[in-house]
């Protein structure tokens, strides 16, 4: 009856966002290589957010000093320039507070005509991924590549990566492309007056997304299959959302959904494709219906709904479509040929639709969760699950809210420069890295 | 060390063990053990009975106090472990804090983990916390800390003589009740039946007398559940409900209940109707 | 007084209807009504909204539920500042509450409201034996202890046996089924006709569920996701096997299959002015145009207990200058298959229409293809006061899907009453 197992040490508790929380929990060290032009805008953003700014890494050597280190590397054009990065970050990195942030701003290597500049910029990539692995106590390291002309669109992204909202994202490279962000009058409620739709919202990650979008000010419509209606109504009433029971795989679902949204809201601003199922089997044992049902729910429905959203102008200018993919879709996973195919397919769809969306001042992105503690991961065998939890830089599984925060950031009116990308929320898992 | 239970232990045996081993228990350390049970499913019939006794309505969601009942056999398992220093009879439940990260549903499977922590002195003896954590598929959704007192010294003379409310103690005194509850004689037996907590001081006036109560007393967790039920439809889905049990509710009793919303926090109190002497003081925060 | 403005119906919500002593056996009227309200709140985003009023009721009601609707509102996610009251008109309750709320909206007294109904045959009130009740009341009035003891000594063991509610008319002692059986015989409604009608109710309901018609009308409750009584495989053969339960042997035609089962459930309808709906961008499905209630003397007057709608409809048609054939949908509550069939026959019968309804010519037949197109009480079940709300939302959605036209609702009720109404597509 009783099985005694040895205890496992508990991982660092990550700093996660709560309403009213300041952007950072201590001073921010800001530096840059010569030629970078972002220090002033960064300091302005930090000033608006009420964060105090330090500029000299060696001024204080006390541990747990910096809540974040931001380095503007956009001006680096050769190997020598990289030395400044080392000189600035090396002494300060050890003084990061728990759940601290190392954020490096770079220039996309492909935008650098000179090979030596492209090499130096690409070097940042390896640097940040390694720093992510060296970071301790819940700290993260991320690189934001800013294309020429995108300098005005950094605020929502910088705030996101500084804050507790990005707790489970590390070792990632985000690309900002030129775009005109819409203003965000209230950074405590960046989604105020926006209408957002979340599929698969009765439980787990979907419910967390609904709650987070609602917390950030959006009017949320939550969708799930009628059979989940009781849980869906509970979610809706808990977070002040509206419940719409619909089987998104039904033949007439895209049309019904489009009609419903246009009738009720005229148009919507944010559409989150979260609904997904798993039917795990090894390839040789997988019946066709398990293959088909996973592709139909996870991918087919998204394609058909996106088509309806665009054809019938259901999305307003500034619209955001966010599709939940998975690291399984990037790295593959045993027993998940169907699931991984569907989740990789989402990435293909996002990349193909991004230029189309950009024409209408809209964006589409994928969020690829790694090991998130949900009912779906519960279905995994014990060893696989425990390994999944541990083989990442933060040494723990993420929570549904970590995915939700990422979705909310991509849904913001200010996040216009992020388009066609796959944002991994995986704690820098080694899978598919 | 973790003790993993694969099914709910029978409470009868645990009680027998608790009584049999009561005299031999001593020590100044709590066991490091935690007792865990995975994939606990909700029996809707049992849930319906619990809801009826506590005043919750039948629905697809769990009352915030319900996981306490689910975890009760685990707590018992820990407390009858040979390494547990205190005899179960005579422990006094003095405080309880429940934190819920989201609404729990009746169709979810909970993993429950119980530990005993933080042994510390109390003016009248020693106290410690029993903590319960509930996760759904790894996601922490619910946690509870129950503080128990092991009385080892008599009441100080002042409080022994003076049963009337202390100045500034509790919100009960002087506050007009929001509601008057008539707590029936059989509520101890009824709650025992739905919770498994068959401590005889709740069931039998004679046994209650042995422990210094004039009559049988209501379960503290029933009283807390009754308070939350009184706020049906008003409670946020993310909440921390913290109460102190100030004095037992003798059965039967007529008590006053008060609730006041300040900002997003409910202040709640249950007190003796005649004297205003507090039974329970607490708060529920979003 | 403001100009009359027909009330808009935006939609509704119900929990799946369950058979008595099934999944809702432990749920009270208040539990189910609150669940139905909370589902409606979720569907229309009414969290903490203060509405003009909530009117609801139950037929089988505990004495402690004297303020059932208000109690449900206080427990639901609506604003607790929303007033509420109970209405009871037997099986007409659900439609009668809709009419109440709609009338207040039409008169400009309220802007929005919810009409609802609930019933449980599982958690039915059990009353103290009438003799015991009298003795206890006397004991309560007695002045001294000896007097009290003397009264209590009068009690006999049989007087302590409680009384369960009987589905019988107080003035005739006959159950509703027995009454309906008389009417069925009078109108010559055959067993085969009734069974055929019941089969189509089940098949229509099953088809509607399958096409997702109820996706935005029903919220699951206590694990039940669809109407429990529904038999998608119902057939003449399966119904033919059932033995008659009402009426005399030999001529009896009414079985459990062509009568409604005892059921548990709750339903709610959201109504408002056009302006209130438009401000919130809630699409209006239909307007409630007019309603009529009639009663018949089934005790001494020689009319069938459930025939009152037969009288109500012609009055309603006359007032609205409509013919019985001017409707796109008919929703006639299926208390018993025979009731619907007798109602239709009566409207087709020239001499009955002349003598009883005072009409120069019969109302005539209706297009059966427009009758109860998504099934009705025989298949869904019939938690008495919840049926009206179910029918109103079903018809409202049918009309909205069609995009035009009007529908007629007809509900018979105990006590020889009938409630009927007209909805028109918005």
Residue C330 parent element (H or E)? strand C329-332
Scanning every residue of chain B, which has its alpha carbon at the shortest distance from the alpha carbon of C75? B233
To the nearest whole angstrom, how far is the Cα of A377 from the nearest Cα of chain B? Answer: 7
pLDDT value at residue A118 = 94
Query: Could you report the per-residue pLDDT of C265-291, keeping only the tens digit for each?
Result: 999 999 999 999 999 999 999 999 999
CB contact under 8 A, C43 and A244: yes
| Range with lowest mean pLDDT among A120-124, A416-420, C63-67, C370-374 | C63-67
Query: Could you report the per-residue pLDDT of A172-191, keeping only the tens digit for each?
Result: 999 999 988 888 889 999 99
Residue C374 has pLDDT above 50, yes or no: yes
For chain A, what percent of residues have pLDDT higher than 70?
A: 92
Residue C218 lies in a domain: no
CB contact under 8 A, B60 and A373: no
Q: Which residues pair with C412 in a beta bridge?
A: C418
Mean pLDDT of C402-412: 97
Question: In the numeric block, which tokens belong to residue B229?
Answer: 């039920």
Residue B268 vs residues B65, B172, B253, B265, C422: alpha-carbon distances, Å: 16, 9, 18, 10, 50
Mean pLDDT of C195-205: 97
Calculate the CA C120 to chain-centre distance: 12
| Range with lowest mean pLDDT among B77-91, B222-236, C56-70 | B77-91
Query: Could you report the per-residue pLDDT of C354-369, keeping only the tens digit for each?
Result: 999 999 999 999 999 9
Query: Could you report the per-residue pLDDT of C173-185, keeping only the tens digit for each?
Result: 888 889 999 999 9
Neighbours of A, requiring at least 3 CB pairs below 8 Å, are B, C
- The residue among C217, C3, C265, C8 whose CA lies nearest residue C113 is C8
Angstrom distance (rounded) from CA A190 to CA A409: 9
Task: Kindly state whether B106 is in contact with chain C, defined as any CB-CB distance less than 8 angstroms.
Answer: yes
Q: Give C386's DSSP letter.
A: G
Chain C residues touching chain B at CB-CB below 8 Å: 26-28, 30-31, 34-35, 74-77, 80, 220-223
Scanning every residue of chain A, which has its alpha carbon at the shortest distance from the alpha carbon of C278? A264
Q: Give yes or no for a contact between C107 and C1, defined as CB atoms under 8 angstroms apart.
A: yes
Chain B contacts in chain A segment 181-220 (CB below 8 A): 203-204, 207, 211
Residue B159 has pLDDT above 50, yes or no: no
pLDDT value at residue A389 = 75
pLDDT value at residue A99 = 92
Q: Which residues pair with A369 in a beta bridge?
A: A425
Residues on chain C touching A252 (C-beta within 8 angstroms): 212
Residue C319 has pLDDT above 90, yes or no: yes
**HSE-up of residue A250 (Cα within 13 Å, Cβ side):** 18
Neighbours of A350 (CB within 10 A): 26
CB contact under 8 A, B137 and A238: no
Residues on chain C touching B53 (C-beta within 8 angstroms): none
If one compares B172 and A15, the residue with the highest pLDDT of the two is A15
Residue C181 lies in a domain: yes
Mean pLDDT of B122-144: 91
pLDDT value at residue A375 = 59
Count structural domains, chain C: 1
| Range with lowest mean pLDDT among A275-279, B12-16, C403-407 | B12-16
Residue C395 has pLDDT above 70, yes or no: yes
pLDDT value at residue A57 = 66
Q: Is C279 exposed, middle or buried (0-12, 13-18, 19+ CB in 10 A)?
A: exposed
Q: Give yes or no for a contact between B235 and B107, defined as CB atoms under 8 angstroms apart.
A: no
CB contact under 8 A, A264 and C282: yes
Alpha helices in B130-285 (DSSP H): 157-161, 187-195, 205-210, 220-230
Q: Give yes or no for a contact between A159 and A419, defined as CB atoms under 8 angstroms apart.
A: no
Angstrom distance (rounded) from CA B140 to CA A11: 14
Residue C309 vs residues A222, C133, C346: alpha-carbon distances, Å: 41, 37, 11
User: What are the catalytic residues of C?
Assistant: 91, 382, 412
Residues on chain B touching A211 (C-beta within 8 angstroms): 102
Q: Give B166's DSSP letter.
A: P
To the nearest whole angstrom, how far is the Cα of B142 from the nearest Cα of chain A? Answer: 14
A126 Cβ contact list (under 8 Å, min separation 6): none
Q: Coil, helix or strand for B9?
A: coil
pLDDT value at residue A124 = 95
Q: Give yes or no for a contact between C139 and C150, defined as CB atoms under 8 angstroms apart.
A: no
Q: Which residues pair with B183 in a beta bridge?
A: B253
Query: For strand C406-413 and strand C417-425, is the pairing parallel, antiparallel, or unpaired?
Result: antiparallel
CATH topology of domain B170-286: Thiol Ester Dehydrase; Chain A (3.10.129)
Domains assigned to chain A? 28-176 (3.40.50.720), 195-425 (3.40.50.720)
Of A226, A236, A265, the CB nearest to C215: A226
Residue C109 lies in a domain: no
pLDDT value at residue A1 = 36
Q: Which CATH number applies to B1-152: 3.40.190.10, 2.40.50.140, 3.40.50.720, 3.10.129.10? A: 3.10.129.10
User: What ipTM was assigned to the predicted interfaces of this complex?
Assistant: 0.89
Scanning every residue of chain A, which has its alpha carbon at the shortest distance from the alpha carbon of C44? A242
Residue A298 vs residues A231, A329, C296: alpha-carbon distances, Å: 21, 11, 59
A74 Cβ contact list (under 8 Å, min separation 6): A32, A33, A35, A36, A37, A38, A105, A106, A107, A146
pLDDT value at residue C68 = 97
CB contact under 8 A, C212 and A247: yes
Mean pLDDT of B109-129: 93
pLDDT value at residue C249 = 66
Residue B125 has pLDDT above 60, yes or no: yes
Task: Kindly state whether B59 is in contact with chain C, defined as any CB-CB distance less than 8 angstroms.
Answer: yes
Highest mean pLDDT (candidates B32-46, C138-152, C310-324): C310-324
Q: Is A235 exposed, middle or buried (0-12, 13-18, 19+ CB in 10 A)?
A: buried
Residue A410 has pLDDT above 50, yes or no: yes
Residue C337 lies in a domain: yes
Residue A255 parent element (H or E)? helix A253-265
Residue A9 has pLDDT above 60, yes or no: no
**Number of A–B residue contacts, CB under 8 Å:** 57
Rounded to two decimals, what is the model's pTM?
A: 0.90
Phi/psi at A432 (5° precision): 65, 15
CB contact under 8 A, A376 and B5: no
Residue A170 vs residues A136, A173, A423: alpha-carbon distances, Å: 12, 9, 10
Chain A contacts in chain B segment 28-67 (CB below 8 A): 34, 60-61
For chain C, what percent of residues have pLDDT higher than 70?
A: 97
To the nearest whole angstrom, how far is the Cα of C73 from the nearest Cα of chain A? Answer: 14
Of A7, A203, A207, the CB nearest to B1: A7
pLDDT value at residue C334 = 96
CB contact under 8 A, A375 and B6: no
Residue A102 has pLDDT above 50, yes or no: yes
Q: Which domain holds residue C328?
A: 176-212+290-425
If one compares C249 and A92, the residue with the highest pLDDT of the two is A92
Any idea what the CATH number is for the domain that residue C394 is in? 3.40.47.10
CB contact under 8 A, C215 and A227: no
Average pLDDT score over chain A: 90
pLDDT value at residue A140 = 94
Mean pLDDT of C82-94: 96
- The residue among C231, C294, C266 whose CA lies nearest residue C393 is C266
CB neighbour burial string for C193-229, b if at least 16 within 10 angstroms, e if fewer: bbbbbbbbbbbbbbebbeebbbbbbbbbbbebbbbbb
Residue of A238, A396, A397 for testing the chain B interface, max B β-carbons within 10 Å: A238
Mean pLDDT of A374-380: 61
Residue C47 lies in a domain: no
Compute the Cα dihedral for C15, C20, C25, C28 and give only its sign.
positive
For chain A, what percent of residues have pLDDT higher than 90?
A: 72
Residue B191 has pLDDT above 70, yes or no: yes
pLDDT value at residue A4 = 44
Residues on chain C touching B52 (C-beta within 8 angstroms): 26
A55: left (phi over 0), alpha (psi -120 to 50) or beta: alpha
CB neighbour burial string for A319-344, b if at least 16 within 10 angstroms, e if fewer: bbbbbbbbbbbbbbbebbbbbbbbbb
User: What are the catalytic residues of A?
Assistant: 339
pLDDT value at residue A214 = 97
Alpha helices in A94-199 (DSSP H): 115-134, 155-162
Mean pLDDT of C33-43: 98
**Where are the domain boundaries for CATH 3.10.129.10 in chain B?**
1-152, 170-286
């Amino acid at each position: 009856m009783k099985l005694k197992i040895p205890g496992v040490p508990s991982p660092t508790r990550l700093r996660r966002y709560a309403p009213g929380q300041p952007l950072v929990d201590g001073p921010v060290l800001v530096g840059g290589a010569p030629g970078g032009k972002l220090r002033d805008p960064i300091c302005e953003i930090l000033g608006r957010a009420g964060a105090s700014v330090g500029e000299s890494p060696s001024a204080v050597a006390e541990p747990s000093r910096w809540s974040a280190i931001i380095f503007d590397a956009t001006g680096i054009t050769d190997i020598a320039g990289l030395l400044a990065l080392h000189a600035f970050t090396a002494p300060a990195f050890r003084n990061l507070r728990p759940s601290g942030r190392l954020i490096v701003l770079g220039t996309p290597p492909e935008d650098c005509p000179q090979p030596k500049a492209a090499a130096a910029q690409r070097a940042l990539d390896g640097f940040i991924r390694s720093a992510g692995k060296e970071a301790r106590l819940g700290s993260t390291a991320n690189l934001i590549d800013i294309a020429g002309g995108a300098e005005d669109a950094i605020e929502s992204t910088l705030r996101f990566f500084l804050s507790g909202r990005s707790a489970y994202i590390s070792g990632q490279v985000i690309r900002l492309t030129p775009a005109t962000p819409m203003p965000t009058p209230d950074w405590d409620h960046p989604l105020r007056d926006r209408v957002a739709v979340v599929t698969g919202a009765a439980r787990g990650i979907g419910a967390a997304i609904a709650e987070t979008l609602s917390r950030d000010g959006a009017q949320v419509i939550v969708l799930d299959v009628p059979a989940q209606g009781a849980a869906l109504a509970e979610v809706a009433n808990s977070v002040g959302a509206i419940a719409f029971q619909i089987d998104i795989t039904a033949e007439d679902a895209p049309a019904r959904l489009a009609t419903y949204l246009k009738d009720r809201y005229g148009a919507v601003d944010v559409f989150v494709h979260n609904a997904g199922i798993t039917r795990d089997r090894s390839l040789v044992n997988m019946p066709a219906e398990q293959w088909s049902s996973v592709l139909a729910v996870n991918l087919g429905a998204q394609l058909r709904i996106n088509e309806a959203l665009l054809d019938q102008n259901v999305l307003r200018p500034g619209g955001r479509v966010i599709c939940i993919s998975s690291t399984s879709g990037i790295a593959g996973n045993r027993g998940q040929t169907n699931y991984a195919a569907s989740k990789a397919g989402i990435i293909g769809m996002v990349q193909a639709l991004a230029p189309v969306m950009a024409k209408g001042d809209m964006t589409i992105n994928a969020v690829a969760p790694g090991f998130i503690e949900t009912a779906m991961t519960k279905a995994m065998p014990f060893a696989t699950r425990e390994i999944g939890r541990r083989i990442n830089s933060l040494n723990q599984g993420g929570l549904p809210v970590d995915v939700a925060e990422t979705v909310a950031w991509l849904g913001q009116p200010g996040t216009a420069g992020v388009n066609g990308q796959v944002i991994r929320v995986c704690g820098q898992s080694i899978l598919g890295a | 060390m973790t003790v993993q239970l694969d099914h709910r232990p029978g409470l009868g045996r645990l009680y027998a063990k608790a009584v049999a081993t009561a005299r031999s228990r001593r020590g100044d350390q709590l066991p490091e053990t935690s007792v865990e049970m995975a994939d606990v499913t909700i029996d809707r019939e049992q849930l319906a009975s619990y809801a009826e006794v506590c005043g919750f309505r039948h629905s697809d969601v769990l009352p915030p106090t319900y996981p306490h009942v689910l975890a009760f056999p685990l707590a018992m398992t820990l407390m009858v472990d040979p390494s547990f220093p205190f005899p179960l009879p005579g422990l006094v439940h003095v405080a309880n804090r429940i934190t819920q990260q989201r609404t729990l549903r009746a169709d979810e499977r909970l993993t429950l983990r119980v530990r005993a922590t933080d042994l510390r002195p109390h003016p009248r003896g020693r106290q410690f916390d029993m903590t319960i954590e509930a996760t759904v598929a790894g996601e922490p959704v619910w946690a509870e800390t129950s503080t128990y007192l092991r009385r080892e010294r008599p009441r100080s003379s002042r409080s022994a003589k003076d049963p009337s409310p202390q100045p500034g103690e509790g919100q009960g005194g002087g506050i007009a009740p929001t509601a008057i509850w008539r707590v029936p004689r059989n509520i101890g037996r009824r709650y025992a039946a739905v919770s498994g907590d068959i401590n005889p001081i709740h069931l039998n006036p004679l046994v209650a007398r042995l422990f210094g109560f004039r009559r049988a007393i209501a379960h503290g967790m029933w009283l807390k559940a009754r308070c939350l039920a009184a706020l049906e439809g008003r409670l946020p889905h993310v909440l921390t409900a913290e109460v102190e049990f100030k004095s037992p509710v003798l059965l039967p009793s007529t008590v006053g209940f008060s609730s006041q919303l300040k900002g997003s926090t409910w202040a709640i109190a249950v007190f003796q109707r005649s004297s205003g002497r507090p039974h329970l003081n607490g708060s529920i925060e979003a | 007084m403001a100009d009359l403005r027909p009330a808009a119906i935006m939609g509704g919500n119900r929990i799946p209807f369950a058979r008595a002593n099934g999944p809702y056996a432990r749920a009270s009227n208040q539990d189910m009504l609150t669940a139905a309200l909370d589902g409606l709140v979720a569907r229309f985003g009414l969290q903490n909204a203060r509405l003009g009023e909530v009117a609801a009721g139950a037929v089988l009601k505990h004495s402690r539920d004297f303020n059932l609707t208000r109690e449900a509102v206080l427990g639901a996610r609506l604003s607790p500042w929303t007033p509420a009251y109970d209405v009871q008109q037997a099986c007409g309750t659900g439609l009668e509450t809709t009419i109440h709320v709609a009338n207040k909206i039409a008169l400009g007294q309220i802007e929005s409201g919810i009409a609802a109904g609930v019933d449980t045959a599982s958690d039915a009130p059990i009353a103290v034996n009438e003799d015991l009740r009298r003795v206890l009341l006397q004991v309560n009035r007695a002045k001294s202890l000896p007097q009290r003891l003397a009264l209590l000594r009068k009690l006999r063991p049989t007087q302590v046996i409680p009384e369960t509610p009987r589905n019988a008319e107080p003035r005739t002692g006959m159950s509703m089924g027995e009454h309906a059986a008389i009417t069925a015989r009078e109108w010559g409604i055959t067993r085969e006709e009734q069974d055929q009608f019941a089969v189509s109710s089940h098949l229509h309901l099953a088809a509607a569920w399958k096409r997702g018609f109820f996706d935005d009308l029903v919220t699951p409750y206590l694990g039940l996701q669809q109407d429990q009584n529904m038999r998608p495989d119902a057939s003449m053969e399966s119904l033919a096997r059932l033995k008659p339960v009402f009426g005399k042997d030999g001529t009896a035609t009414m079985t459990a299959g062509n009568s409604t089962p005892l059921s548990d459930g709750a339903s709610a309808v959201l109504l408002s002015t056009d302006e209130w709906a438009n401000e919130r961008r809630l699409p209006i499905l239909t307007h409630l145009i007019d309603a009529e209630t009639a009663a018949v003397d089934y005790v001494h007057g020689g009319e069938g207990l459930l025939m009152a709608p037969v009288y109500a409809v012609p009055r309603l048609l006359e007032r609205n200058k409509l013919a019985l054939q001017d409707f796109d949908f008919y929703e006639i509550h299926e208390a018993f298959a025979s009731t619907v069939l007798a109602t239709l026959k009566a409207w087709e019968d020239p001499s009955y229409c002349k003598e009883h309804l005072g009409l120069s010519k019969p109302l005539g037949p209706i297009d059966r293809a427009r009758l109860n197109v998504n099934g009705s009480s025989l298949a869904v079940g019939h938690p008495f006061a919840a049926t009206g709300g179910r029918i109103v939302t079903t018809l409202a959605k049918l009309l909205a899907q069609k995009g035009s036209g009007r529908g007629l609702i007809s509900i018979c009720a105990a006590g020889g009453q009938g409630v009927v109404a007209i909805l028109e597509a918005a």
